[in-house]
Amino acid sequence: MIQIVEKACREAGGVSALAEALGIKRQAFYQWPQVPPLRVLQIEQATGGKVTRHDMRPDLYPPTPRTPAPATTGEAA
């Protein structure tokens, strides 16, 4: 099993719990060379966002750029 799926299983409550959440058999995880694109968002949701889409598939989901905070002028209204 690939490392990121192991982490997802831990976060979701175990292999069986994650498999049930995805509606698949637990053996399927052991056949994945990488997380299938159709499963990425499901796993992110099942882990409560603790395993992100970028963690699983950075090739499909690049990091989200941070938006800088708006500049303030320091003047009181």
Give residue-wise pLDDT tens across range 13-71.
999 999 999 999 999 999 999 999 999 999 999 999 999 999 999 999 998 777 666 66
Q: Is residue 67 part of a domain?
A: no
Q: What is the dihedral of CA 63, 1, 51, 40, to 10 degrees?
A: 70
pLDDT band at 6 (very low <50, low <70, confident <90, very high): very high
Name the pTM for this structure.
0.81
Predicted pLDDT at 63: 85
Number of domains in the chain: 1
Domain that holds residue 25: 3-56
Q: Is 57 helix (H, G, I), strand (E, B) or coil?
A: coil
CB under 8 Å to 34, separation ≥6 — which residues? 2, 56, 57
**22 lies in some domain:** yes
DSSP single-letter state for residue 71: P
